[in-house]
């Protein structure tokens, strides 16, 4: 994920996260007229974060990388992924109290932060694509899903074809896990809010009972990154702890 300065009044075409667009890798540049627009974007980069190693071909400036220690999440253990730390800290600030963040990406991660803003644990499950690949790879006749062909909408509750049955089962299983997790969290802190983010968040959110009061924030990690590395015309949070 990365956050950059506006280019011509808009974010650069590469602001955000996920797979890089086609084209040459990031390079250093001064932003002069006629320069490669990716070089200009790199020159205006305010901050980026990643879990694990980053390919050298990305050529992202090391000095702009946000480290876990810079995320003001109280009690964050050193092994915590920076994506979870960002989502948990910013979710807590938005909730102004206890929060459970469900990040539905490659892995469905739960990150709980208590009312004092302290990391209170979490849990991890295989996400939609991982579960579908595991079923296809571990059985003789179940079909494999290629990433571009993954359905984006929930399948019917009781599909008649195998592919839809796989997708429906995985989505509904993950939605049930989210519902169970927030109910458990609310037994400890009744006013705990539930924030849902990640690429599969929209599909999973549509399967959750409205009574759970889920709040879908698809760009939660980027919001946190922008708050910690604001553009020149944006103030930093007055206090990172309140």
Return the active site residues.
83
DSSP one-letter code for 212: G
The set of residues, in sequence order, having a beta carbon less than 8 Å from that of 238 and lying 6+ positions away, is none
Residue from 7, 58, 13 nearest 33 by CA: 7
Cα–Cα distance between 31 and 130 in angstroms, integer?
40
Write out the two tokens for 231: 């553009």
Phi and psi at residue 240, to the nearest 5°: -80, -10
175 within 8 A of 196, measured Cβ to Cβ: no
Q: In Å, how far are 31, 44, 90, 130, 162 from 159, measured between CA atoms?
A: 53, 48, 38, 21, 8
- Residue 167 region by backbone torsions, left for phi larger than 0, else alpha for psi between -120 and 50, else beta: alpha
């Amino acid at each position: 994920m990365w956050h950059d300065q506006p280019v011509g009044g808009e974010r650069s075409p590469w602001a955000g996260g996920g797979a890089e667009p086609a084209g040459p890798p990031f390079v250093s540049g001064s932003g002069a007229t006629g320069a490669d627009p990716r070089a200009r974007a790199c020159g205006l980069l305010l901050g980026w974060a990643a879990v694990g190693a980053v390919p050298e071909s990305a050529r992202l400036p090391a000095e702009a990388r946000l480290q876990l220690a810079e995320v003001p999440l109280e009690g964050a253990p050193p092994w915590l992924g920076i994506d979870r730390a960002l989502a948990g800290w910013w979710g807590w600030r938005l909730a102004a109290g206890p929060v459970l963040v469900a990040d539905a990406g490659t892995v469905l991660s739960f990150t709980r932060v208590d009312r004092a803003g302290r990391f209170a644990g979490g849990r991890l499950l295989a996400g939609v694509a991982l579960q579908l690949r595991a079923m296809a790879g571990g059985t003789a006749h179940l079909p494999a899903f290629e990433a571009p062909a993954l359905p984006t909408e929930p399948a019917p509750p009781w599909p008649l074809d195998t592919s839809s049955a796989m997708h429906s089962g995985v989505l509904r299983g993950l939605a049930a896990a989210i519902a169970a997790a927030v109910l458990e969290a609310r037994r400890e802190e009744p006013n705990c809010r539930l924030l849902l983010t990640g690429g599969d968040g929209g599909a999973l959110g549509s399967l959750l009972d409205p009574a759970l009061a889920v709040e879908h924030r698809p760009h939660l990690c980027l919001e946190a990154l922008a708050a910690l590395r604001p553009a020149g015309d944006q103030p930093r949070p007055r206090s990172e702890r309140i």
